[in-house]
């Protein structure tokens, strides 16, 4: 049974052969040329869904208004350590800002200048809707609901580097996130440990046989590249993965790992398998802390501990590979400057972003601090925005991935180099 490449494409690719349950990236792989190998710059994006409280993550202890706004939720200043309360004191960063004590795992990265922080950053749109705000940040067009694709997909589409790997863009999750939807092929992988073609070796074998029989040489090569990539992952055996350099990803005590920990560990495995990964995305919810948020202990502290331990483990696991990797964190918006009556915080505006990697000029909190005095707050209640998240991402894309198609990636936004924060080495 022979199939021409044209017939496959005309009739919907793999679906006509009865493999409708195959991942979409395999359908796209029919039209792809063989992947290329070599050293690549990799971008990892982590999304904190639910609106993380940036004011308690990176604490502006040098602003006295912070403590008057949060009588029960505020994190004690670093000076509290000298008064016998070291376990609860903020971890000093620069004499004005301090890190939440639950994030002590990443403090060495900041001190070693491998991690930078951007405060008062986020989307300029003022919506307090989780759905709309996440959509705007993932589409890269705040305030515009008609955008059909995501900024991360557009960035990938504009990066013409000859890489046609089926694993060029991977999201760790059940479905493809908004930010990776678009023209560029991308795949969602719930868990590498169970990843397979249709979950059945027989299906993979049958499909490989069809590829082998094709009269179109390019199609045959593309198919082999795809299954070679899958083969590499299988040979690595995700169930027996051993992190390097003494790295330990956080787990829940059941061997399953935490959401961020498991995602970053599997991203590490994809990078080491050298399957052509350029962009990876992972997210985790739970950041919507309206009630009993906690300060040094509680909901937020638990999430931050997991996040910090995951980032620290990933950095250690990657070792020298980290020179070619940049990790960026983001959340749809921040939370109100003043705590509410339920010992929590409500939907706010500006937030903080972390940027980690070999090319990062770390050890600094970037961005202009707007202040927390009543007249300085956005709408009288939130941290005001001074850095558009697209300015941060634009600098990462241009300097790290050498992708300067910013007009196409962020339509309607002018990313002026003079406004870059210089958090990435040129």
pLDDT value at position 253?
Answer: 59
- The answer to whether residues 137 and 247 touch, using CB atoms and an 8 Å cutoff, is no
For position 236, what pLDDT does the model report? Answer: 62
pLDDT of res. 225: 53
Within a domain: residue 247? no
Has residue 15 been placed in a domain?
A: no
Is 365:355 a contact under the CB 8 Å cutoff?
A: no
Mean pLDDT of 101-117: 98
Residue 218 lies in a domain: no
Buried b (16+ CB within 10 A) or exposed e, 200-228: eeebbebbbebbeebebeebbbbbebbbe
* Residues 312 and 114 sit within 8 Å (Cβ to Cβ): no
pLDDT in tens, 3-39: 333 333 333 322 222 223 334 444 444 334 333 445 7
Higher per-residue pLDDT: 17 or 331: 331
Taking residues 164-169, report their average pLDDT: 87
Give the three-class secondary structure for 352. strand
User: 230 pLDDT band (50/70/90 cuts)?
Assistant: low
pLDDT category at 65 given cuts 50, 70, 90 is: very high
> Given a cut of 70, is residue 160 above it in pLDDT?
yes
Q: How many domains does the chain have?
A: 1
Domain presence at residue 181: yes
CA dist 130 and 40 (Å) reads 34
Specify the 3-state DSSP secondary structure of 298. Answer: coil
**pLDDT for residue 216 is more than 70:** no
Return the percentage of the chain with pLDDT > 70, whole number: 80
Q: Is 7 within a domain?
A: no
DSSP string, 356-414: EETTB--SSEES-----SGGGSBTTTBPPP-EEHHHHHHHHHHHHS----HHHHSTT--
pLDDT higher at 83 or 366: 366
Q: How many CA atoms lie within 13 A of 410 on its CB side?
A: 23
- Does residue 324 lie within any of the structural domains? yes
Rounded Cα distance between 383 and 337, Å, is: 6
Is the model more confident about 263 or about 2?
263
* pLDDT above 60 (res 226): no
Task: Tell me the average pLDDT across 366-375.
Answer: 98
The phi, psi pair for 269, rounded to 5°, reads -65, -40
Q: Please, what is the average pLDDT of the chain?
A: 85
Q: Which domain holds residue 287?
A: 41-196+257-419
Higher pLDDT: 114 or 254? It is: 114
Residue 319 CB coordination number (10 Å): 11
pLDDT, one tens digit per residue, over 239-253 is: 778 999 999 999 865
CATH code of 304's domain = 3.40.720
92 by Cβ neighbours in 10 Å (0-12 / 13-18 / 19+) ranks as middle
Region 207-231: mean pLDDT is 50
**Which of 264-278, 306-320, 344-358, 376-390 has the least mean pLDDT?**
264-278
CA Rg value for the chain: 23
Q: Point out the least confidently predicted range of 22-26, 185-189, 314-318, 409-413.
A: 22-26
Contact 268, 243 (CB under 8 A): yes
The yes-or-no verdict on residue 235 having pLDDT over 80 is: no
What tens digit of pLDDT does each residue of 289-324 get?
999 999 999 999 999 999 999 999 999 999 999 999
Tell me what the mean pLDDT of segment 388-415 comes to. 97
Mean pLDDT along residues 204-223: 45
Tokens 């707007």 belong to which residue? 370
Residue in this structure with the two tokens 């937030």, named with its chain if needed: 351
Residue 350 has pLDDT above 70, yes or no: yes
pLDDT at residue number 43:
98
Q: Which one, of 265, 260, 230, 234, lies nearest residue 248 by Cα?
A: 265
The reply to whether 226 falls in a domain is: no
pLDDT exceeds 90 at position 367: yes
For the packed helices 201-213 and 217-236, what is the interaxial angle rounded to 10 degrees?
Answer: 150
């Amino acid at each position: 049974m022979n199939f021409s490449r044209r017939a496959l494409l005309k009739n919907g690719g793999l679906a006509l052969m009865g493999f409708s349950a195959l991942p979409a990236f395999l359908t796209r792989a029919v039209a792809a040329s063989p992947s290329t190998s070599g050293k690549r710059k990799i971008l990892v994006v982590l999304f904190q869904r639910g609106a993380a409280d940036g004011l308690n993550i990176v604490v502006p202890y040098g602003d006295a208004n912070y403590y008057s706004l949060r009588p029960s939720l505020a994190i004690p200043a670093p000076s509290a350590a000298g008064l016998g309360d070291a376990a609860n004191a903020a971890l000093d960063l620069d004499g004005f800002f301090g890190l939440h004590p639950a994030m002590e795992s990443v403090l060495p990265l900041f001190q070693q200048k491998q991690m930078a922080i951007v405060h008062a950053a986020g989307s300029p749109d003022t919506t307090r809707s989780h759905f709309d705000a996440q959509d705007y940040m993932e589409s890269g067009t705040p305030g515009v609901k008609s955008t059909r694709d995501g900024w991360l997909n557009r960035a990938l589409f504009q990066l013409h580097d000859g890489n046609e790997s089926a694993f060029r863009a991977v999201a760790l999750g059940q479905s493809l996130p908004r930010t990776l939807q678009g023209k560029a092929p991308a795949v969602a992988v719930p868990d590498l440990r169970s990843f397979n073609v249709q979950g059945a070796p027989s299906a993979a074998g049958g499909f490989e046989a069809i590829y082998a029989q094709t009269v179109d040489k390019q199609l045959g090569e593309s198919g082999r590249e795809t299954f070679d990539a899958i083969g590499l992952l299988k040979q690595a055996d995700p169930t027996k993965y051993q992190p390097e350099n003494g790295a330990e990803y956080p787990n829940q005590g059941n061997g399953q790992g935490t959401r961020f920990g498991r995602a970053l560990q599997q991203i590490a495995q994809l990078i080491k398998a050298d399957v052509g990964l350029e962009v990876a995305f992972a997210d985790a919810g739970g950041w919507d802390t309206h009630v009993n948020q906690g300060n040094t202990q509680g909901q937020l502290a638990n999430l931050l501990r997991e996040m910090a331990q995951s980032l620290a483990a990933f950095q250690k696991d990657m070792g020298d590979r980290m020179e070619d990797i940049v990790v960026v964190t983001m959340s749809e918006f921040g939370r109100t400057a003043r705590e509410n009556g339920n010992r929590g915080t409500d939907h706010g505006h500006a937030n903080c972003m972390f940027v980690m990697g070999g090319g990062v000029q770390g050890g600094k909190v970037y961005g202009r601090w707007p202040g927390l005095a009543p007249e300085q707050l956005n709408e009288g209640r939130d941290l005001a925005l001074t850095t558009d998240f697209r300015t941060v991402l634009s600098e990462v894309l241009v300097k790290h991935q050498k992708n300067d198609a910013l007009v196409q990636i962020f339509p309607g936004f002018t990313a002026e180099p003079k406004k870059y924060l210089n958090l990435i080495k040129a």
